[in-house]
Amino acid sequence: MKAIIEANQYVELTYKVIDRKTRQVLTLVEFPLGYVHGVNEILSPRVMDALEGKSEGDIIEVHIDCNDIYGPRDEALVIVESIANVPEAYREVGTAILMENDNGQTRSFLVTRVDARTVTIDGNNPLCGREVIFKLEIRMVRDATDEEIRYGGKVEAAPDLNNCRAVPV
Q: What's the pLDDT at 148? A: 92
pLDDT in tens, 5-58: 999 999 999 999 999 999 999 999 999 999 999 998 888 889 999 999 999 999
62 residue type, one letter? V
Contact 10, 33 (CB under 8 A): no
Does pLDDT of 157 surpass 70?
A: no
Helix or strand (DSSP H, E) at 65: strand 59-65
Cβ contact 9:3 at 8 Å = yes
Which pLDDT score is estimated for 128? Answer: 87
Question: Which of 38, 51, 56 has its CA nearest to residue 1?
Answer: 56
pLDDT at 6: 95
Distances (CA, A) of 71 to 1, 41, 88, 114: 42, 20, 32, 26
Name the pTM for this structure. 0.70
Predicted confidence (pLDDT) per residue in 134-144, tens digit: 999 999 999 99
Cα–Cα distance measured from residue 95 to residue 81, given in angstroms and rounded to the nearest whole number: 15
73 to each of 15, 69, 122, how far by Cα in Å?
Answer: 25, 11, 10
* Class of residue 95 by CB neighbours under 10 A (exposed 0-12, middle 13-18, buried 19+): middle
DSSP β-bridge partners for residue 122: 78, 110
104-134 residues labelled b (16+ CB within 10 A) or e (exposed): eeeeebbbeebeeeebbbbbbbebbebebbb
Question: For 82-115, what is each residue's pLDDT tens digit?
Answer: 999 999 999 999 999 998 888 888 989 999 999 9
Least confident of 64-73, 92-101, 121-130, 152-161: 152-161
